[in-house]
Amino acid sequence: MSEKSEDAAVTNPAQSEGAVLSKDAAPGETLLKVTGLQKHFPIRKGLLQRQVGAVRAVDGIDFEVRSGETLGVVGESGCGKSTMGRLITRLLEPTAGTVEFEGKDITHLGVGGMRPLRRDVQMIFQDPYSSLNPRHTIGTIISAPFRLQGVEPEGGVKREVQRLLSVVGLNPEHYNRYPHEFSGGQRQRIGIARALALKPKLVVADEPVSALDVSIQAQVVNLMDDLQQELGLTYVIIAHDLSVVRHVSDRIAVMYLGKIVELADRESLYKAPMHPYTKALMSAVPIPDPRRRSAKSERILLKGDVPSPISPPSGCRFHTRCWKATQICTTVEPQLVELKPGQRVACHHPENFEDQAPQDTVLLTAAKEAAELVADEVLAESATTSAAVAAEVAEVAASPTGPAAEETPDAAASDEPETDRDSK
Ligand SMILES: Nc1ncnc2c1ncn2[C@@H]1O[C@H](COP(=O)(O)OP(=O)(O)OP(=O)(O)O)[C@@H](O)[C@H]1O
Ligand code: SF4
Ligand SMILES: [Mg+2]
């Protein structure tokens, strides 16, 4: 079935009876806490398979997920997002650090100890084509968690699976169909139904829509949003750019090369991103509003590729691509510290901070242009500030020795999604 025909076959998510979850952590309380989490994949060589190095995929991260919230995690390809997702769902064993779920240390739980947790923490995978077994009917696929956990739902497995199908907007009569009979968007709905089967508390979704057509992405994101409201779910949603997570996240963590470089609530991040990398990511978000497309925006095109996680740069890992790097950035690693309430940043020269030099704010309008989700009054305030700042620094911007960030007029004028790739 083609993606286009999906609309016809997809019904609205049902207001499912009996779907309200019992939740132990009250909304806003910490559900998951991660401290100093690391995952180093060893690199082995030779006959004896001696370890000659390690891929430092996740290299010491701290964050918490609060009950009922959506935490978005963004960063370029290879920065360790999926590894982080697999660590917190305990599909991978950490090299160091701790993972606590509802106050319980689950970092090194064995298979038996993990069994109850498997019900509470579920993962939705990126690729709806490879994550569903083509030889099984969707009835078998969605009921697998019941079999694995030895759970007999009230009313029987078949009835519960059919209820789940209607919850995710699929026809319950399609219970006996095979994955190839569904479109990509519908398959992802099947993956979501499977993840919800055991009424989890935390759902980690690894790029849940990036394999789908843009037109279908919004439907699946909206479905996840509706289900969160209806079922009281807590989400960690992983994406490689901000355009997917911006509408649904309460807080956003920005990752770079195995580290979290900024963690803030959505509004703060959009209003005044403090890490230069966040600012670059935000400047790459297309502006959907046609009235604002002609407005001049500055796009920060990062130079070079992400360095190898086998030997990350010294000091601040972003210094090889940062237009603000100074000597200290090359030697001293900045720690993730709370510089404003609810906004943690790892940078020696943060943006939008009181001690910044005037030239630091030249690119402020880029962040402003990407901030269309922010409330109008916040935008108005930001626009006033930006105008004042722009006037103040006009001379610096015009001078040939101005800030070294790359900007191409073409890219600045364009909002085509493909120009996003320039910044990756
Ligand atoms: N099992 C593994 N063995 C060795 N290296 C791995 C393994 N899994 C991931 N890596 C490496 O760890 C780094 C982080 O990978 P990860 O898949 O977590 O990144 P990502 O941010 O999810 O990227 P993408 O956006 O492409 O999905 C990469 O360099 C990757 O090659
Ligand atoms: S610490 Fe230095 S190199 Fe790193 S992001 Fe901040 S200014 Fe740039
Ligand atoms: Mg990934």
33: CB partners within 8 A, 6+ apart: 64, 65, 98, 99, 100
Q: How far apart are CA 174 and CA 190, in angstroms?
A: 11
Residue with tokens 């100093």: 36
Q: How far apart are CA 85 and CA 91, in angstroms?
A: 8
* Ligand 2 centroid from CA 329, angstroms: 6
Q: Which amino acid residue places its CA nearest to atom 30 of ligand 1?
A: 78
To test the pocket of ligand 1, the residue of 52, 83, 93 to mutate (highest count of ligand atoms within 8 Å of its CB) is 83
* Ligand 3 centroid from CA 367, angstroms: 25
* Judgement on whether residues 172 and 235 belong to the same structural domain of the protein: yes
Which ligand has its closest atom nearest to the C-alpha of 75? 1
* Ligand 1 centroid from CA 58, angstroms: 9
Q: Domains in the chain: how many in total?
A: 2
Q: How far apart are CA 220 and CA 247, in angstroms?
A: 13
* Judgement on whether residues 153 and 25 belong to the same structural domain of the protein: yes
Strands of 234-239's sheet in order across: 121-124, 202-206, 234-239, 70-74, 251-256, 259-265, 343-345, 337-340
* Judgement on whether residues 295 and 155 belong to the same structural domain of the protein: no
333: CB partners within 8 A, 6+ apart: 314, 315, 316, 317, 346
Question: Which pLDDT does position 394 carry in this prediction?
Answer: 47
Give the bridge partners for 337, in sequence order.
345
Q: How far apart are CA 316 and CA 333, in angstroms?
A: 5
Q: Which amino acid residue places its CA nearest to atom 12 of ligand 1?
A: 57
Contact of 49 with 83, CB cutoff 8 Å: no
* Judgement on whether residues 65 and 195 belong to the same structural domain of the protein: yes
Strands 30-45 and 96-101: antiparallel
To test the pocket of ligand 2, the residue of 329, 344, 355, 359 to mutate (highest count of ligand atoms within 8 Å of its CB) is 329
Question: Which pLDDT does position 306 carry in this prediction?
Answer: 81
Does residue 369 belong to any structural domain of this protein? yes
Does residue 256 belong to any structural domain of this protein? no
Does residue 265 belong to any structural domain of this protein? no
Nearest C-alpha neighbor of 334 from the set 253, 254, 261: 261
Which ligand has its closest atom nearest to the C-alpha of 347? 2
* Judgement on whether residues 24 and 66 belong to the same structural domain of the protein: yes
Burial of 410 (0-12, 13-18, 19+ CB in 10 A): exposed
36: CB partners within 8 A, 6+ apart: 60, 61, 62, 96, 97, 98
Does ligand 1 lie within 6 Å of residue 126's CB atom? no
Give the SS3 label for residue 396.
Answer: helix
Does ligand 1 lie within 6 Å of residue 80's CB atom? yes
**C-alpha separations of 224 from 124, 229, 361 in Å:** 11, 9, 36
* Ligand 3 centroid from CA 220, angstroms: 18
* Judgement on whether residues 14 and 67 belong to the same structural domain of the protein: yes
Q: What is the largest CA-CA distance in the chain?
A: 73
Does residue 73 belong to any structural domain of this protein? yes
* Judgement on whether residues 169 and 242 belong to the same structural domain of the protein: yes
Q: Which amino acid residue places its CA nearest to atom 6 of ligand 2?
A: 347
Does residue 1 belong to any structural domain of this protein? no
Give the SS3 label for residue 297.
Answer: coil
Q: Using a 6 Å CB cutoff, which residues line ligand 2?
A: 275-276, 316, 318-319, 322, 324-325, 329, 334, 347-349
The amino acid occupying position 97 is G
Question: Which pLDDT does position 299 carry in this prediction?
Answer: 65
**What is the pLDDT tens value at each position of the chain, 424 positions in all?**
333 344 334 444 433 333 333 446 777 799 999 999 999 999 998 888 898 889 999 999 999 999 999 999 999 989 999 999 999 999 999 999 999 999 999 999 888 888 888 889 999 988 777 888 999 999 999 999 998 888 888 889 999 999 999 889 899 999 999 999 998 889 989 999 999 898 899 999 999 888 888 878 888 888 888 889 888 899 999 998 788 888 889 999 999 999 999 999 999 998 889 999 998 888 766 555 555 444 445 567 676 778 899 999 999 999 998 888 889 999 999 999 999 999 999 999 898 876 554 444 444 433 333 333 334 454 455 445 545 544 554 444 344 443 333 333 333 333 333 333 333 3
Question: Which pLDDT does position 286 carry in this prediction?
Answer: 58
Strands 70-74 and 121-124: unpaired
Give the SS3 label for residue 291.
Answer: helix
Burial of 216 (0-12, 13-18, 19+ CB in 10 A): buried
* Judgement on whether residues 182 and 313 belong to the same structural domain of the protein: no
**C-alpha separations of 122 from 131, 151, 185, 198, 320 in Å:** 14, 16, 19, 9, 37
* Ligand 3 centroid from CA 263, angstroms: 19
* Judgement on whether residues 21 and 169 belong to the same structural domain of the protein: yes
* Judgement on whether residues 225 and 303 belong to the same structural domain of the protein: no
Does residue 261 belong to any structural domain of this protein? no
Does residue 101 belong to any structural domain of this protein? yes
Q: How far apart are CA 21 and CA 233, in angstroms?
A: 8
* Judgement on whether residues 307 and 212 belong to the same structural domain of the protein: no
* Ligand 1 centroid from CA 73, angstroms: 15
Contact of 1 with 78, CB cutoff 8 Å: no
The amino acid occupying position 418 is E
Q: How far apart are CA 143 and CA 410, in angstroms?
A: 51
Q: Which two tokens stand for residue 111?
A: 């298979």
CA end-to-end distance (rounded Å), the chain: 32
Last residue of a domain, one of 204, 234, 249: 249
CATH number of the domain within which 212 lies: 3.40.50.300
* Judgement on whether residues 157 and 294 belong to the same structural domain of the protein: no
Nearest-5° angle of CA 153, CA 103, CA 25?
55
Does residue 349 belong to any structural domain of this protein? no
Domain that residue 100 falls in = 6-249
Q: Which amino acid residue places its CA nearest to atom 10 of ligand 1?
A: 57
Question: Which pLDDT does position 355 carry in this prediction?
Answer: 59
Give the bridge partners for 96, in sequence order.
38
Q: How far apart are CA 235 and CA 232, in angstroms?
A: 10
Q: Any alpha helices (H) in 63-183, and if so which ranges? A: 81-88, 111-120, 138-149, 157-167
Contact of 141 with 132, CB cutoff 8 Å: yes
